Amino acid sequence: MTDPTLTTTWNLGTDGDDLYARLMAAHEGLSDDESARLNVRLVLLLVNHIGDRVVLEEAIAAARRCGPEPTNAT
Amino acid sequence: MPRYRSPVFPFVRPPELDGRAGRRWPVAIVGAGPVGLAAAIDLALAGIASVVIDESNVVSTGSRAICWSKRTLEIFDRLGVGDRMVAKGVTWKVGRLFHRDREVYAFDLLPEPGHKRPAFINLQQYYVEEYLIDRARDFPDLIELRFMSRVTGAGQDPDRAWVDVETPEGKYRLAADYVIACDGVRSTVRRSLGLDFIGRAFEERFLITDVEMAAEFPSERWFWFEPPFHDGQSALLHKQPDNIYRIDLQLGPGADPEEERRPERVIPRIRAMVGERPFEIDWISVYSFQCRRLARFVHDRVIFAGDSAHIVSPFGARGGNGGIHDVDNLCWKLAAVLKGEGPSALLETYNTERVHGADENILNSARATSFMTPKSRMERLFRDEVLALASTHPFARQLVNSGRLSRPCSLAGFSLGTAETSDLSGTMVPGAPCLDAPVRGANGEDGWLLDHLGGSFIALGFGALASTPPGVRGLTVGGSGDLQDPQGLLAARYDGAPGVVYLIRPDQHIAARFREPTAAEISRALARAQGSSNA
């Protein structure tokens, strides 16, 4: 097992609550659909910014692990 | 009323119908489409006779495969038909992508100067077939074309393969050392051998039409996601010769193909797209998306090439081109085996190399299909937001996938190549298809490198070439050599310092490269590239 390269320790200094609030504010006044689209654009911008396949693979795996089991709903 | 008139090829009564044995053919080719015809020509260039059997007596109806890539044109050059194809075809290099009513971006394939052939031409499959048939007629002693001859079955035993043929004047069985099945996606040969495709079929269907109109659309590839004229689906417009435009319109998964191809259904859709300019429908078809292949392309004496072996979704120009690349890879190997110059194991490398090529095509076209036809709400959101970002953020343009256009397939790492031990740089590594470059011949005439390569093994030497093994044609660059490098592009693309030698396969792929090799090193690389297992 190689060392993970995805940073999962605290990395936001003292800005955590501000940044969380900023994220919430970005969704203010948006419908569920518009919010989902905003999230998608954020993911795409950040994925391109990170640009590191290993980090992204680990992030995808970590996100999948913490979520609910897939329901295979159609 | 189709504008193109096919020549009509007569049925010629074969000797087998009169109880005469006929000759024992080295190769029988099933199907006179681009793949089968190209195979017959490539084999004839190597001195191998073949008989081509086709159920029809005309060339293909409708444009079908229209988009021929640079690598394919280079192969057509080797077969002696490139000039005619390029002269008739529409050369293009710009693509435009639209989302709803706005242009997202345009791309220019920006061909690098110093290559004979452009990135792509558009040319209807019927012209490609007609020109290949004309070329096949240059080899009356080596190619026999049998029209109106339907293959109804195929089989083999350890000594031969055969096909059963049905004609207007009776049936016969034809035996050959090898059968190449180029009989398309519904291959009778494949069915006769009990073989099935593996892979994925999509539910989507596309309506595909040739429309004749006098329009001023430029020679560009236009692709729409969710165009305003075709509710929620995607669409493609591509220019072909003779004022014929190819229009592809995505149909929903539930569409009824028979219903959708009726002119009264098609005409309003075209009208919505092209506006009030007059047009005539030349051809209509409906196809489904598939990304599937045979598990193996070589079954002893029966070999599959083109759509009989693999089928991809369109929009990457990977169907017709992939089939021509199969031929390019197969024929020199089959010729070597038939002449006793190579082991039958050489044919197995056709299997491994072209299964690799097919998988590359399948992967790319499956991804393009997924992008065009999102399967869930989230897939659709990602697709739409990639398009939304693309107009202002250049990075997102490279995620937009309306078909990743066919690129030459590298065979780096496969068994016929000699692992690199030199410190040579650049992209011309063992397994790569040779890049073109301008050259000047011994008599001062300007030409192209690729026109000097192919057909046999070649040792391309920069500066002097010490010695070449039997069966290898030497070609020297610079000094008093065979070729000069007037622009320096050949040396630049091949890291061609004096003493550098490339061993090049008959299909213009690099087998090995060296700095000042010994004769023994070249011989070893040659033996390896010819399939010798102890090289």
- Measured between beta carbons, the chain A residues lying within 8 angstroms of B388 are 37, 41
Dist. CA B299–CA B190, nearest whole Å: 10
Q: pTM of the full predicted structure?
A: 0.95
Dist. CA B530–CA A58, nearest whole Å: 44
What are the pLDDT tens digits along chain B (535 aa)?
Answer: 578 999 999 999 999 999 887 788 999 999 999 999 999 999 999 999 999 999 999 999 999 999 999 999 999 999 999 999 999 999 999 999 999 999 999 998 877 899 999 999 999 999 999 999 999 999 999 999 999 999 999 999 999 999 999 999 999 999 999 999 999 999 999 999 999 999 988 888 899 999 999 988 899 999 999 999 888 789 999 999 999 999 999 988 788 888 988 999 999 989 988 888 999 999 999 988 889 999 999 999 999 999 999 999 888 889 999 999 999 999 999 999 999 999 999 999 999 999 999 999 999 999 998 999 898 999 999 999 999 999 999 999 999 999 998 888 999 999 999 999 889 999 999 999 999 999 999 889 999 999 999 999 999 999 988 788 988 999 999 988 999 999 999 999 999 999 999 999 999 999 999 999 999 999 999 999 999 865 5
Domain final residue pick, B309, B344, B367: B367
Instruction: Reduce the DSSP state of residue B85 to 3 states and report it.
Output: helix
Q: CA-CA distances (angstroms) from residue B305 to A32, B302, B432?
A: 50, 10, 21
Same domain flag for B473 and B334: no
Interface residue B103 vs chain A (CB under 8 A):
no
Same domain flag for B357 and B445: no
Residue of A nearest to B379 (CA): A40
Same domain flag for B47 and B137: yes
Dist. CA B351–CA B293, nearest whole Å: 12
- Judge whether B398 lies within some domain: no
Question: Is the pLDDT score of A72 beyond 70?
Answer: no
Selected for mutation to probe chain A from B381, B383, B398 (highest A CB count within 10 Å) is B381
**pLDDT, tens digit (0-9, with 9 covering 90-100), for B434-481:** 999 999 998 899 999 999 999 999 999 999 887 889 889 999 999 889
Please name which of B215, B268, B228, B274 lies closest in space to residue B247, comparing C-alpha atoms: B274
- Asked if B396 lies within 8 A of A44 by C-beta distance, the reply is yes
Q: CA-CA distances (angstroms) from residue B455 to A33, A67, B425, B493?
A: 59, 59, 26, 22
Dist. CA B219–CA B144, nearest whole Å: 38
- Asked if B395 lies within 8 A of A48 by C-beta distance, the reply is yes
Question: Is the pLDDT score of A74 beyond 60?
Answer: no
Size of interface A-B (CB pairs under 8 A): 23
Strand (E) or helix (H) holding B53: strand B50-53
Same domain flag for B360 and B467: no
Dist. CA B113–CA B121, nearest whole Å: 17
Between vectors from CA B114 to CA B113 and to CA B115, what angle results, nearest 5°?
100
Same domain flag for B25 and B168: yes
Q: How far is B388 from chain A (nearest CA, A)?
A: 8
Under DSSP, the state recorded for B433 is: B
pLDDT of residue B334: 98
- Asked if B399 lies within 8 A of A44 by C-beta distance, the reply is yes
Dist. CA B89–CA B68, nearest whole Å: 9
Domain final residue pick, B323, B349, B367: B367
- Judge whether B62 lies within some domain: yes
Same domain flag for B336 and B460: no
Tokens representing residue B150 in the block: 């339907």
- Measured between beta carbons, the chain B residues lying within 8 angstroms of A42 are none
Under DSSP, the state recorded for B180 is: E
pLDDT of residue B181: 98
- Judge whether B9 lies within some domain: no
- Judge whether B315 lies within some domain: yes
Tokens representing residue B86 in the block: 């390029």
How many domains in chain B? 2
Interface residue B391 vs chain A (CB under 8 A):
no
Q: How many CB atoms lie within 10 A of CB B424?
A: 17
- CATH code (residue B47): 3.50.50.60
Between vectors from CA A53 to CA A52 and to CA A56, what angle results, nearest 5°?
85
- Measured between beta carbons, the chain B residues lying within 8 angstroms of A44 are 382, 385-386, 389, 396, 399
Q: Longest Cα pair distance anywhere in chain B, in angstroms?
A: 73
- Judge whether B5 lies within some domain: no
- Asked if B385 lies within 8 A of A48 by C-beta distance, the reply is no
ipTM above 0.85, yes or no: yes
- Bridge partners of residue B98, in order along the sequence: B103, B224
pLDDT of residue B535: 53
Q: CA-CA distances (angstroms) from residue B495 to B207, B422, B499, B502?
A: 48, 11, 11, 11
- Asked if B385 lies within 8 A of A45 by C-beta distance, the reply is no
- Measured between beta carbons, the chain A residues lying within 8 angstroms of B400 are none
B22: burial class by Cβ within 10 Å (0-12, 13-18, 19+)? Answer: middle
Dist. CA B143–CA B304, nearest whole Å: 19
Same domain flag for B351 and B463: no
Same domain flag for B347 and B474: no
- Measured between beta carbons, the chain A residues lying within 8 angstroms of B396 are 44, 48
- Judge whether B46 lies within some domain: yes
- Asked if A37 lies within 8 A of B388 by C-beta distance, the reply is yes
Name every residue in A having a CB less than 8 A away from some CB of B: 36-37, 40-41, 44-45, 48
pLDDT of residue A62: 94
- CATH code (residue B456): 3.40.30.120
Handedness of CA B212, B217, B222, B226 (dihedral sign): negative
Same domain flag for B51 and B182: yes
Q: CA-CA distances (angstroms) from residue A51 to A23, A55, A71?
A: 22, 8, 30
Tokens representing residue A6 in the block: 């995805």
Between vectors from CA B39 to CA B37 and to CA B42, what angle results, nearest 5°?
110
pLDDT of residue B209: 95
Cβ within 8 Å of residue B287, ≥6 positions away: B205, B206, B208, B314
Interface residue B384 vs chain A (CB under 8 A):
yes
Q: How far is B417 from chain A (nearest CA, A)?
A: 30
Domain that holds residue B494: 438-529
Same domain flag for B163 and B29: yes
Same domain flag for B309 and B443: no
Question: Is the pLDDT score of A69 beyond 80?
Answer: no
Over residues A65-70, mean pLDDT: 79
8 A C-beta contact, residue B321 and residue B406: yes
- Judge whether B7 lies within some domain: no
**pLDDT, tens digit (0-9, with 9 covering 90-100), for B474-488:** 999 998 899 999 999
- Measured between beta carbons, the chain B residues lying within 8 angstroms of A45 are 389, 393
- Measured between beta carbons, the chain B residues lying within 8 angstroms of A41 are 385, 388-389
8 A C-beta contact, residue B29 and residue B51: yes
Same domain flag for B362 and B479: no
8 A C-beta contact, residue B305 and residue B185: no
- Judge whether B417 lies within some domain: no
Interface residue B387 vs chain A (CB under 8 A):
no
Dist. CA B345–CA B353, nearest whole Å: 13
CA dihedral B333, B297, B142, B434 (to 10 degrees): -50
> Within 13 Å, how many C-alpha atoms sit on residue B49's CB side?
10
Tokens representing residue B71 in the block: 């690598």
- Measured between beta carbons, the chain A residues lying within 8 angstroms of B384 are 37
State the SS3 of chain A: CCCCCCCCCCCCCCCHHHHHHHHHHHCCCCCHHHHHHHHHHHHHHHHHHHCCHHHHHHHHHHHHHHCCCCCCCC
Domain final residue pick, B311, B336, B367: B367
